[in-house]
Amino acid sequence: MPLDTSAYSLALLRVDGRRWNELRRIHAQIRTQAAADGSSYLEMGHTKVMCVVNGPSEPGPRRGATSGGGGGGGQSKNAEVAVNIVIAGFSSVDRKRRGRGDKHILELQSTISQALAASLHTHLFPHSTINISLHVLSQDGSLLAALINAATLACVDAGIPMTDYVAACTAGSTSTYAANDEGADPLLDMNHQEEQELPGLTVATLGDSDRVAVLVCESRVQVSRLEGMLAVGVDGCKQVREILDRVVREKGIKMIQEGTVERGVGLNDMELD
């Protein structure tokens, strides 16, 4: 069934019942794997992603070069961010066989690697590598955004210093490129069906600011609509950041309650002397 745009213009509701500026449900967990330095699990709607971070650590002598491009690695002054993505065969409706050298996956890997390398303080870890391993369990649109969010959470869990969260989401437009529809609305957080039918872009921002860390647009979109889409996307990123931040805080507070970490000085105590 093509996206029922006529229904949208009547009730202003999308195929899954959301309004134009609503995110899907985001559920996230950190520290899901005890053996890893950092790990996370993230759901954006039905897109489900798992992330494991190992490092920063210095690779042994006999390891081959890893994929990814952010930072140098090896003997350089900055840590290398190596990203590896595995898309499970059962993750989408049709079972697609993706080889190791799949161009689509390689592009996702290098995008994530560069985005995170810009936010992480890689200069603190010379000669080392940060290995980020992402597993896609289920796909329903906004895959790149989900991967970036999961990777950010796992890096926070791994205790790697960073400038700020890199939070991502997608934005689209209610009309196709060809339809010269003046009344096209921007859409926030596209699902798979919308991604198939409509133009869209993925945007990631650095924390609370409006600084765009990633902007990927793979479809034809009229330039006049781009601005609205970007604005909605940037706004969605801030909502995502809040959600990610809350996940981290709740975990941290739980750890303090359990006594795993002792309490630090509160920010208010500091002003006393």
Partner 1 sequence: MPITILPPKAFRDQPPRRNLNHDSDDVMSDATSDSEDSDSQPGGVSLDGGVTIHPRKRRSAAAASSTFTKRPKTNVTSSVPRSAIVTPGERITTDPQWMRGHGTYLSSASLGEQAITSSLAGIVTRTNKLLSVRPLRARYTPEVGDLVVGRIVEVQAKRWRVDVGSTQLAALPLSAINLPGGILRKRTETDELQIRTFFAEGDLVVAEVQQLFQDGGAVLHTRSLKYGKLRNGVFMAVSGTGGGGGVVRSRRQVWTLEAANNGGPIDVILGVNGYVWISKHVEPVVPEEAKGQTGITNLEEVVSATMYSSQNDRIEPETMREIARIRGVVTALVENGLRVDEDMVTKGYNEAVELALVSADGPEDVYLGGERGEQLAAALTAV
- Strand, coil or helix: what is 114? helix
DSSP state of 271: G
67: number of Cβ within 10 Å: 15
Q: Both ends of the chain: CA-CA distance in Å?
A: 67
How near is the Cβ of 271 to partner 1 at its closest, in Å?
Answer: 8
Q: Which is closer to partner 1, CB of 72 or CB of 126?
A: 126
User: Is residue 2 involved in binding partner 1 (CB under 8 A)?
Assistant: no
For the window 135-174, what string marks contact with partner 1 as x by the rule CB under 8 A?
---------------------xxxxxxxxxx---------
User: Is residue 268 involved in binding partner 1 (CB under 8 A)?
Assistant: yes
User: Is residue 238 involved in binding partner 1 (CB under 8 A)?
Assistant: yes
DSSP state of 62: T
- The two beta strands, 80-87 and 129-138, are parallel
Residues 188-207 that bind partner 1 (CB under 8 A): 188, 207
User: Is residue 56 involved in binding partner 1 (CB under 8 A)?
Assistant: yes
Q: Token digits for 178?
A: 């060809």
- Part of the chain binding partner 1 (CB under 8 A), chosen from 51-59, 65-73, 95-103, 135-143: 51-59
Which of 33, 57, 114, 193: binder of partner 1 (CB under 8 A)?
57
Angle among Cα 132, 137, 143 to the nearest 5 degrees reads 70
- Part of the chain binding partner 1 (CB under 8 A), chosen from 80-88, 104-112, 133-141, 254-262: 254-262
- Residue 49 forms beta bridges with which residues? 42, 136
